[in-house]
A and B are shown apart, each in its own frame.
Chain A
């Protein structure tokens, strides 16, 4: 069974640009969550999608958005990139809604660098 796939693995952008990251969950998983890790910070929750609906959102500005498609694949978009957006972005999937008692299956992440 294929794991969680994130593309691209690495990305370099400049300030002011926008970027779209993609996440394909494990087959059959309907929940996708996104996390950001910056140097010195733990994993910070961005948002969770289930059945094409955003169920919860972390404390990030509106420049961070996402969506989920009918096949459960998810995309995350960051507009007007800032230097502080340089980070590792991880997505995780699980079978059902919510993350409570379900182990999360993580992808390898997309490392975004802003110049």
Chain B
């Protein structure tokens, strides 16, 4: 069993504020770290696939960093908007399967 932990479980952000949250994963046998956004009543949407230590990826106002040596990744949302409200999932993979964390649910208040 691959232990992937996300914290916090949920957070509330005021519109316009920036926020970040964490994904912790096993640092051994690392292959890749995925981030997905899952909005209510929709399907999970891929945000990033990160493979290299020190990797930084950006998509609009959302960015992510990766530290494979210590086993963590941060996801940042800059200037949160109501449409950013969703559950953000990270998933660790050894190539054969994705092991998901329980997610961080972000609620952006207008």
Determine the distance from Cα of A50 to Cα of B49 in the docked complex, in whole angstroms. Answer: 20
Known: A101-B49, A101-B51, A104-B34. A109 touches B43 (CB 8 A): yes
**Per-position 1/0 for B34-61, Cβ under 8 A of A:** 1010000011111001010000000000
Is A100 interfacial (CB 8 A cutoff)?
yes
CB of A103 within 8 A of CB of B34, answer: yes
Closest to B99 in A: A45
Closest to B33 in A: A101
Q: Which residues of B contact A (CB under 8 A)?
A: 1, 4, 31-32, 34, 36, 42-46, 49, 51, 89, 91, 93-103
Q: Please, which residues of chain B bring their CB within 8 A of the CB of A109?
A: 43
CB of A103 within 8 A of CB of B49, answer: yes
CB of A108 within 8 A of CB of B97, answer: no
Is A49 interfacial (CB 8 A cutoff)?
no
Known: A43-B89, A98-B96, A99-B98. A108 touches B42 (CB 8 A): yes
Secondary structure dominating the interface of A: loop
Q: Please, which residues of chain A bring their CB within 8 A of the CB of B49?
A: 101-103
Closest to A103 in B: B46
**Per-position 1/0 for A20-50, Cβ under 8 A of B:** 0000000000000101000001111100100
CB of B43 within 8 A of CB of A99, answer: no
Q: Please, which residues of chain A bring their CB within 8 A of the CB of B96?
A: 48, 55-56, 98-99
Instruction: Kindly identify which residue among A4, A45, A55 contacts B43, using a CB–CB cutoff of 8 Å.
Output: A4
CB of A100 within 8 A of CB of B95, answer: yes
Q: Please, which residues of chain A bring their CB within 8 A of the CB of B31?
A: 100-101
Q: Please, which residues of chain B bring their CB within 8 A of the CB of A13?
A: none
